[in-house]
Amino acid sequence: MKQIKTDLLLNLLKADSADYKNLETKEYTTPQKKQVIRSLMNIRMPGGLSGALLSAQDDYLRQEREEKGVVTLAEIPTLREQFGGQTTLADKLSLWKGDITRLQAGAIVNAANSQMLGCFIPCHRCIDNAIHSAAGMQLREACSHIMQEKRMRYGRQYEEPVGTATLTKAYNLPCGYVIHTVGPIVYGTLTDALKEDLRRCYESVLNCCAENGIRSVAFCCISTGEFHFPNEEAAQIAVKAVTDFLGTHADTMERVIFNVFKDSDREIYEELLRTLAADM
């Protein structure tokens, strides 16, 4: 059954593509076929999704989700459980290392680019690509619709500014919603303006949660990696922005998760949160 779902989606994606409809994949291994599936999803422009293609994709992605496994909030220790801390805040914060697309939180945060359509580079390792690939092609459709509406209001050259928060459904992800935010890009010197831009990303996402009744959210490491924001400074800004928000809006959130994927980021957050817990 697994192979049938994989082959069906692969063949439908090839038929849907003008450039790759004749790609010969009969001799491909299953991992190779899955890589082609993700690549064809990544490069597909929004528009014209057939019901058959969406149905095959959703069946395939549900299977992928089951194989990866869903992680619930109950499985992630709080700051109190991990590092100590005796205040209410210690029960609302968590650090978790792993694949953010596995989290069954109220929302997960996507570090988007200003075009807001996801990453078009096949199988790229950025968080934008990972989230769109696991959510399915509907997510690009939804983001495209939002951007079309904004371009009708603000002009054809409109790009999403840094520091906003845009809410979409999560589609095939186990979370409730995806919140997209465009972080600042560091080209050279890290300035106070860039730090403020990153702080606004976290504040906007948390305000979006409060406005939409979303009680738990998982933050990726916004602007690090491809956007070159120094990891340690980014983590300091993230922790301060979240704790400042919870200091005045604690009743709006049950859990805020700092999600990391690299050991180096885990070590940075562990040090910051251990110090924070000691002060609680």
Q: What is the pLDDT of residues 9-53, one digit of tens each?
A: 999 999 999 999 999 999 999 999 999 999 999 999 999 999 999
In order of 150, 157, 183, 233, the CA distances from 133 in angstroms are 24, 26, 20, 29
Q: What's the pLDDT band for 175 if we cut at 50, 70, 90?
A: very high
pTM: 0.96
Q: What's the pLDDT band for 4 if we cut at 50, 70, 90?
A: confident
Q: What is the pLDDT of residues 243-271, one digit of tens each?
A: 999 999 989 999 999 999 999 999 999 99
Helix (H) or strand (E) holding 127: helix 127-135
What DSSP string runs through 159-223? -PPTT--EEEE-TTSSSSEEEEEEPPP-SSS--HHHHHHHHHHHHHHHHHHHHTT--EEEE--TT
Residues in the chain: 280
| Short-list 261, 122, 76, 104, CA closest to 172 | 104
Tell me whether residue 240 is exposed, middle or buried, using C-beta atoms within 10 angstroms of its C-beta: 0 to 12, 13 to 18, 19 or more. middle
| Short-list 161, 162, 178, CA closest to 170 | 178
Strands (E), 71-176: 93-97, 107-112, 166-169
